[in-house]
Amino acid sequence: MSDSPRDSWKLSLPCTRAEAEALEGDIAAFALLDSPPVLMTSEASSDDGDAWQLDAYFEGRPNAALVRLVQTLVPSARGRKPVLEKLPQADWVTMSQQGLEPVTAGRFFVRNSNADAVPSGYKDFLIGAGLAFGTGQHETTAGCLAMLDRTRRLGHRFGNIADIGTGTGLLAFAALHLWPRAYGTASDIDPVSVEVTADNADKNGVPLGIAPGRLALFTAAGVDHPGIVTRGPYDLVIANILAGPLIELAPSLSGVLEEGGTLILAGLLDTQAARVLAAYRAQGLRLADRIDNGAWPTLRLRKRPAIGWHRPRRWPHGRNGEAPGYGSW
């Protein structure tokens, strides 16, 4: 019987403690992969503090090139034969994320367990380990949370917000916390992510619906859904995806953004930022702010306002994200 595309596989390699510590967070080598593996490291021996093991979990059997890519992450294992095994049917992504440390970004505290104590003064989100990307552990998600918090502290106001490629819904929840009177829209190409977002919304007290202060959910590739288009234009769009899709989506993301509106982009490497920025500058946007979280930058862009009486508007004057005193064209 042939393997199912959803079968789970594990690749194991020995590594050193230093190599294991270097693998914390997002891995630059996986940035262009559609379905990157989940990495876990653990001590291989209680008697040897430098003897560690790398386990890489895959959805589907990895090909030889992907195995070699993982091997490059642990040079000390050069010449050692990797152990590749098919796993029993199980939610290995959830298992791999159990026990992740909480993340603090801006005013937000993101945890995946009720056992984690919430510090005072932070907005708490419980995002359980699961099938969807975006738990808050990833540098890209944490960078977006920090950028949203900074944008609010600078005095920006938004009335219509969209989170494209929402994953777990975390960024949409954070944006609605910062701007509670706004209309909220969240979408993902993966229907599982949309289901996860709905479940997380219930756990975190985020109301769903089409009214102000509520979050409307859509399953769509990018903004390719009539519900997403008709709810626009948006004065804040968030897209934490990957560099390739961000470049491809530049015309459509810019198209649903209100003139003068704000676009927050993440999921790209610092070496890819110039190409991503070039794609959006061609659509009339300019870089307004940047946060670098390791090798993963978060970009805040602004769309150049049109000049003239015929400029289309949905929101009242002053509600398009402009922060008086912080510059404009």
Q: CA angle at residue 265 from 261 to 271, to 5 degrees? A: 135
Consecutive H or E run containing 184: strand 183-188
Residue 287 sits in the same domain as residue 223: yes
**Residue that has been written with the tokens 């938004």 in this structure:** 158
Q: 240: annotated binding-site residue?
A: yes
How many structural domains is the chain composed of? Answer: 2
Residue 125 within any structural domain of the chain = no
Domain housing 5:
1-13+56-62+83-92
Which tens digit of pLDDT belongs to each residue from 207-234?
999 999 999 999 999 999 999 999 999 9
184 and 291, same structural domain? yes
Cα three-residue angle 261-262-263, rounded to 5 degrees:
130
pLDDT digits (tens, 9 = 90+) for 17-69: 889 888 866 677 887 787 788 788 878 766 777 889 998 888 888 999 999 99
172 falls in which pLDDT band (50, 70, 90)? very high
**Separation CA 7–CA 3 (nearest Å):** 7
Which CATH number do you get for residue 166?
3.40.50.150
Q: Side by side, which strands form the sheet with 234-240?
A: 215-219, 183-188, 160-164, 234-240, 257-266, 296-303, 285-293
- The reply, when asked if residue 149 is annotated as ligand binding, is no
**Residue 16, marked binder:** no
Same domain as 88, residue 197: no
Q: Is 51 helix (H, G, I), strand (E, B) or coil?
A: strand
Is 176 within a domain?
yes
To the question of whether residue 204 is assigned a binding role by annotation, the answer is no
Higher pLDDT, 64 or 6: 64
pLDDT tens per residue across span 297-318: 999 999 988 655 344 444 333 3
Does residue 106 belong to any structural domain of this protein? no
Task: Give the span between the Cα atoms of 262 and 326, in whole angstroms.
Answer: 14
Asked if residue 78 belongs to a domain, the reply is no
